[in-house]
Amino acid sequence: MHTIMGGLRPGTTQPWDPAMKGYIRHHWQEVQNKTAQPFDFARFDDDAFVYDTEPPCRALITVRHLAPYHAVTMLEALQRAFYAENRAITAPEVLADIAAGVGVERDAFLAFYTSEQAHHAVLGDFARTRAFGVQGFPSIVCAEDGQYAFLAMGYRPYDALCADFTAWLAC
């Protein structure tokens, strides 16, 4: 398995407006209803919030580079920190704390996270995601010998996903 970051809203520089907040709140509520995952909706009280997803994507790529076996754990920690704990996961220091919490050395994290290599790597992930044709998150793409197929583009319950994955493996 390999995590590739899609960059839901990378490079956003403007605070969200009421229409965007309403749109996103609606989707968060849908996710919460379907998955029972915890959400802290206090984020919507912050009118100055800039919803830039590039920093946490780069943080995941940093962990993938430094300690690939921690990548999925980092993804889970980032999701929890942002959605359930309302942490500022666009701040390098916060991201370094999260990485340290999953077992990545903080100084090594910050050194790579701020490097040109990390910037290029995150842009490469975004380009790869576009090349696959991903239009929804999360997405699961199975690839082999230059062929690929989507198992999920957007949320799917585990049972349906597992059955399709098992069938794909049997081919």
Domain ranges of the chain: 1-132, 135-171
pLDDT of res. 54? 95
**Digit-coded pLDDT (tens) for 13-64:** 899 999 999 999 999 999 899 888 999 999 999 999 999 999 999 999 999 9
Does the domain at 1-132 match CATH 1.10.472.60? Answer given as: yes
pLDDT(169) > 80: no
Residue 52: what are its φ and ψ, rounded to 5°? -100, 115
**Digit-coded pLDDT (tens) for 109-150:** 999 999 999 999 999 999 988 888 887 778 788 777 877 777
pLDDT(170) > 80: no
Per-residue pLDDT band for 5 (boundaries 50, 70, 90) equals confident
Q: Cα 101 to the chain's mean position, in Å?
A: 17
pLDDT(171) > 70: no
pLDDT(100) > 70: yes
Characterise 154 by phi-psi region: left (phi > 0), alpha (psi -120 to 50), beta (else). Answer: left
- Model-level pTM greater than 0.75? yes
DSSP string, 128-152: HHHHHT--SSSEEEEEETTEEEEEE
